[in-house]
Amino acid sequence: MLAAAVLVAVGVTAGAMLLGFREERRLADHYRATLAQAQGSYFGAVRLHDGAGEPAGVVFAYRGSPSWITITVASEHRSSVQGAELVDRDGKRIPLASFRLVDGVWGGALPLGLESAAAVHLVDEDGRSLLIADLMGNPSEPGRE
């Protein structure tokens, strides 16, 4: 009798778990299908932060061929941002020559693969970093350090 009760409890628990995770599986399947259609291997978002560590926008990043990013900047920072640089894993700063915010948004292809990028810096007219997105610190991306 006890064994039957345990088996019933295990069955009910397993069924509840399957039902509970159905939406997560559906979302994961959709994400994988979207990446496969685009021939990419990663898509995610990383927050931009100001010097005080406060959120100031978002960088959406896509790893594929080509890799690209879309940047959104909070309204209170838009007038200060004059350029953008990609920082590679060796610390080299690469200007994003086509960068120009339009209504707080910019997007474009990267001059190197996303796997080689460490950060995005939005800079003022003197080239000083105002807003930073740490691409390596994104725990949702597999294979990142």
Specify the pLDDT at position 42: 85
Same domain, 70 and 7: no
Q: Do the domain assignments include residue 104?
A: yes
Same domain, 16 and 60: no
3-state secondary structure of 65: coil
* Residue 144 belongs to some domain of the structure: no
Global pTM exceeds 0.85: no
Tell whether 16 is covered by a domain: yes
Q: Distance from first CA to last CA of the chain, Å, rounded? A: 51
Q: How many domains does the chain have?
A: 2
**Edge-to-edge strands of the sheet including 105-109?**
93-95, 83-88, 117-123, 129-134, 42-49, 55-63, 68-73, 105-109
Q: Both 6 and 52 in a single domain? A: no
Quote the pLDDT of residue 143: 35
Torsion of CA 27, 31, 37, 42, to 10 degrees: 180
Range of the domain at 55: 41-134
> What's the pLDDT tens digit per position in 10-65?
555 656 666 667 777 886 777 677 677 777 788 899 999 999 999 999 999 999 98
Provide the token pair at 67: 């890799």
Co-location of 19 and 47 in the same domain: no
pLDDT digits (tens, 9 = 90+) for 95-124: 999 999 999 999 999 999 999 999 999 999
- Inter-residue contact 83 to 95 (CB < 8 Å): yes
CATH number at residue 114: 2.60.40
Residue 94 and residue 23 share a domain: no
Please tell me whether residues 68 and 8 are part of one structural domain: no
